[in-house]
Structures are given as C-alpha cells and as structure tokens.
Amino acid sequence: MKINTQTVNFNADATLIDFLDNRVQKLEMFFDHIIDVDVFLKVENTSAKENKIAEFKVHVPKDSIVVKKQCKSFEEAIDTACEAVERGLVKWKEKRKS
C-alpha cells in the first residue's frame, strides 16, 4: 500500500508523519487490497479552535472511499478519519460480497 501525504498551509514534522503512517498501515487489517491512500492535512485560516483538517482518499479496486474530518489537533483528526475509513471499508467489503 502506498501512502501519499500532502500538507497545506504548514510543514509537518517527522513525528506527525510517523503517527500518520502507523495509523494508516492499520487499515490493511480491515481490507488487504488497498491500492493507495492519499492524505491531505490542512490548516484552515480561521479563529476557531477546530481548524485542523485531515482528508483521506482510500483507493480500492474499482472504487474509492473519501473521508474528511476537522478537529482541534491533527492526531485527533487522523484518528477519527481512520475510524471512519475502517467503517467504510467494512461496509464496502460486505456490499461487495453480496
């Protein structure tokens, strides 16, 4: 599985990238045939505290799952987005079986 990470309006440090890679690698437990994952980490220029956005595009054979989450920290946004992707992968597998 290939992980493409892009940061918008900031530079990510190595610990954030490592956290992201470790969390995304766990998605393979839910579905083995993930082609690649595009991750966009963005900082919105607003005064709101929840201005960190994590957007995931998970490419699976003949389809893709897109999730976008906005939270107070990137770690929280990545965790909630990965949980949503996990649920989406389980639904997609069940739909594919029937």
User: Which sequence spans correspond to the domains of the chain?
Assistant: 2-97
Nearest to 24 by CA among 52, 71, 53, 57: 57
State the average pLDDT over residues 9-28. 93
Joined tokens for residue 27: 């998605």
- Fold observed for domain 2-97: Double Stranded RNA Binding Domain (3.30.160)
Render 2-59 in DSSP notation, one character per residue.
Answer: EEEEEEESS---HHHHHHHHHHHHGGGGT-TT--EEEEEEEE--SSSS--EEEEEEEE
Check pLDDT > 80 for residue 98.
no
pLDDT score of 25: 94
State the average pLDDT over residues 28-47. 91
CA distances from 81 to 84, 90, 94, 98 (A): 5, 14, 20, 26
pLDDT digits (tens, 9 = 90+) for 39-90: 999 998 888 888 999 999 999 998 999 999 999 999 999 999 999 999 999 9
